[in-house]
A and B are shown apart, each in its own frame.
Chain A
Amino acid sequence: MANRYLLEVQDIHTFIGQFHILQGVSLAVPEGSITAVLGRNGAGKTTTLKSILGLTPPRQGRVVFGGQEIQGQPAYEIAAMGVGYVPEHRAIFTGLSVAENLRIAERQRGDLERRADFIFGLFPDLKRLYRLPGGHLSGGQQQMLAIARALVPDNRLLLIDEPSEGLAPILIQQLIEAIRRLSEQVTVVLVEQNFRMASQLAEWYVIIDDGRSVCNGRMAELLRDEETVRRYLGATV
């Protein structure tokens, strides 16, 4: 039963400075699917992702990835186990070229060459922009680069934070398509404010409210539960 989940987060508590940001977040991510982490602004969604990766290590609770407890390990070791991170605000390296932005994510020499077809199949634009500095890219292109970067090494899990933020609707459609296609190869945890986008993509959901995970289940069920959606997300189905 436990092996069904690639990632399990059990009742983690995370502090940032003196603030008790996460006060008991649990979630379980089945392998080979997209799980959406939903909730209002400031609910603790980003901190949840950072706590999984070890960037803000949880003070309590367990994080189990691939059957191994990983909480408390340094972020670079957790990442090297096969966790890719696509942070919010498209944190690409603006001073590095597109090629370097991808190359730096290599864990072994030749990773980029091996994955090139897949990556440029998803994001053909990047091939054209290959030599340009990352800072010259548009917002949508930077977002694609940030996702592509996380696909360079053989990651088993992708943590994607607010990919649609600040993007034009047409770009969001492209992004949805790309994430759907990449999710055939890698398990995805998706933090998303845009409920419409999240509901189109994710098979599973977990809602975080005020630092606690309050409910979870299949996205299809959530879509029938207007009350919960209105209460925690302030959105309509």
Chain B
Amino acid sequence: MLRRYRAFTISIVLGLALIGLAYAWLGATKAASTLLSGLTLGALYFLLAAGLSLIFGLMDVLNFAHGTLFMIGAYMGYSAFGNPRLLLNTLPLFLMFLAGATVGTEAGRPVRAWGQAARRRLSTAASGNDARQTLKATLARLPFPYLFALLSIGVALWGLWGFPLNRLVAFEATATGGAIPTAEAQDPLPVMGARLAQMALAGLLLGLAVVREGTQRRAGTGAALAVVVALIGALTLVARDPLEGFLLALPVDLRFLLALIVGAATGALLGALIERTLIRPFYGNPITQIVLTLGLMFMGTELVRAVWGREGHPPMTVPSPFAQSCRSENLLAWLTQQCSSISVLGRAFPTYRLFIILFGLLILTGIGLLLRYSRLGMIIRAGVQDREMVEALGINVRRVFTWVFALGSALAGIGGVIAAPFVGVYPEMGSIFQLQAFIAVVIGGMGSYPGTAVGAFLLGLARALGDTIVTSGISLPWLEEALKASPAVARASTVLIMAIVLLVRPAGIFGRKE
């Protein structure tokens, strides 16, 4: 009880102190826009920090690739918004792979049973000369799942060989408005057809490799699902040119929504994939996890550089309610005028940033409600305290881990897309935002959800204050000119507030004493 109130009190005191400082140094007008900038940054930090905190709280995993997912989400959303060609050419490949894998896991049980029977026959067959005997014995001992997995990777690489990714992402090749000038940027349909077949085969092999005894769907549902998925993939491919025209002709707002969905889906899929393949074998082994996720961070960043180029892209077009080049006097006026900026105590402030704040608060509330009232949320809260006991209640904690990883990563991906109209997209945005998100999680108290929210917004305020001090300086009564700090102060501001918080509460504001 006491701890909780104390944590809230400290948060409020710190927030008020920052606002007070801003007011004293900058005056009401500048302080107000600094405050709003701070909330904007805070909302973005929160979108990243929420996933970090959930993943750390439940699984004790420090995911250094989280910022990379934010960045990749931003790039995927950006591409879906301005150049859907990338999506239309890669989605069929992915869907085919998925369809193949579904069939593979379904067919895997009879295949495996048949294989085991064959293996027994081979190892018991006593006839024939020595060489044949040895061959049979060797055959019987081959590690087929691993062979299938290796084959799958081989076939997938073969299928993707020469896939013109960097031509597909070239924005210059596509003009907004629906024209598709350079058809040669895409592989011709027959080549893509071959790639589809190869991806389906790769998926099938992987499905055969990972099939496990235990819970299975009713026979047939998997096959039906696979057919539907494969059909969607094939149709998307065949109709890629009209679809591209259609998507580009859509209103900006719908394309923005599409970008958000693509960003979230990319994050969720990559997150789930990383958890299942790379994190799962190393639970309880933090050093390995850190090295792995750090490696993923570097790989992901370099991959994005290789595909999309070293240079970033300018901020994405904002949705129409924030696009008119004018300044609204207040929120009510903005509703009808839809201006790109709004007057805050006489100073212009971009309305899209207000949208970022609102979006951050919506996600904050949404996840909060999920944690508080849903069964998944209950399991997460229980799992943060005692994973073993949750498992002992008959709950598949590992599956919950995958879901939480996917959820956190989806938040990162959607955060990247939301940030894109504000900061643009560039390969380093991942590590830059991730650092701040980590600080937010530490300030709030590792793994505490309200703590993470408070930490993110406090950090945003501190950073915005630091930025303002650097750009316009502090006006003090006894000085003629405003006192401007060196640019390093802006970056130092977030570390400074972390130092202050950790001095007062070493476990973070909402942290539990260990």
Say yes or no for B303: interface residue by CB 8 A criterion.
Answer: no
A95-B385 in contact given A103-B378, A104-B378, A104-B379 (Cβ < 8 Å): yes
Interface readout for A73-97 with B: 1 if CB under 8 Å, 0 if not? 0111101100001010001011110
Cβ-defined contact, A96 with B378, below 8 A: yes
B397 CB contacts on chain A under 8 angstroms: 76
Total contacting residues, chain A, CB less than 8 A: 22
| B255 shortest CB reach to chain A, Å | 40
**Can you name the residue of chain A whose Cβ is closest to the Cβ of B388?**
A55
- Asked whether, in the complex, the Cβ of A91 is within 8 Å of the Cβ of B378, the reply is no
- Say yes or no for A107: interface residue by CB 8 A criterion: yes
Contacts of A85 on B, CB cut-off 8 Å? 389, 392-393
**Separation of A95 and B512 alpha carbons in the complex (Å):** 12
A-side contacts of B386, CB under 8 Å: 91, 93
- The closest CB in chain B to the CB of A87 belongs to B389
A149 touches B392 (CB 8 A): no
Known A95-B385, A96-B378: A107·B394 in contact at CB below 8 Å: yes
Query: Among residues 387 to 434 in chain B, which have CB atoms less than 8 Å away from a CB atom of chain A?
Result: 388-398
User: Complex: how many Å from CA A53 to CA B385?
Assistant: 20
Q: Find chain B residues with CB under 8 A from A80 CB.
A: 394
The answer, among B381, B382, B384, B393, for a CB contact under 8 Å with A79, is: B393
List of B residues within 8 angstroms of A87 by Cβ: 389, 392
A100-B378, A103-B378 known; A93+B385 contact, CB < 8 A: yes
**Between A and B, how many residue pairs show CB distances below 8 Å?**
60
Size range of the chain B interface in the assembly: 20 to 34
The answer to whether A95 touches B381 (Cβ under 8 A) is yes
- CA–CA, A94 to B378, complex, Å? 12
Residues of A within 8 A of B378 (CB): 96, 100, 103-104
Given A91-B386, A93-B386, are A76 and B381 neighbors across the interface (CB < 8 Å)? no
Tell me whether A79 and B385 are in contact in the complex, defined as CB-CB below 8 angstroms, given that A103-B378, A104-B378, A104-B379 are known contacts: no
B382 touches A76 (CB 8 A): no
Judge whether A44 is part of the interface by a CB distance below 8 angstroms. no
Chain B contacts for A77, CB-based, 8 A = 214, 394
Q: Once bound together, how far apart are the Cα atoms of A208 and B366, in whole Å?
A: 51
Q: Among the listed B379, B392, B398, which residue makes an inter-chain contact with A53, where contact means beta carbons less than 8 Å apart?
A: B392
Render B275-316 as a binary contact track against A, CB cut-off 8 A, 1 for contact.
000000000000000000000000000000000000000000
Instruction: Say how far A80's CB is from chain B's closest CB, in angstroms.
Output: 4
The answer to whether A105 has its CB under 8 Å from any CB of chain B is: yes
* Distance to closest chain A CB from B94 (angstroms): 30
Beta-carbon contact of A149 and B393 below 8 Å: yes
Q: Which residues of B contact A (CB under 8 A)?
A: 214, 375, 378-379, 381-382, 384-386, 388-398
Residues of A participating in the B interface, judged by any CB pair closer than 8 Å: 53, 55, 74-77, 79-80, 85, 87, 91, 93-96, 100, 103-105, 107, 149, 153
> Can you give 21 A-B contacts (C-beta < 8 A)?
A53-B392, A74-B396, A75-B388, A77-B394, A79-B394, A80-B394, A85-B392, A85-B393, A87-B389, A87-B392, A91-B389, A93-B381, A95-B384, A96-B381, A103-B375, A103-B378, A104-B375, A104-B378, A104-B395, A105-B393, A153-B394
- Knowing that A79-B391, A93-B381 touch, tell me 10 more A-B residue pairs with CB under 8 angstroms: A55-B388, A55-B391, A74-B398, A75-B391, A76-B394, A85-B389, A85-B393, A93-B385, A100-B378, A153-B394
- Per CB-CB distance, the 3 closest pairs between chain A and chain B, nearest first, are A79-B394, A80-B394, A85-B392
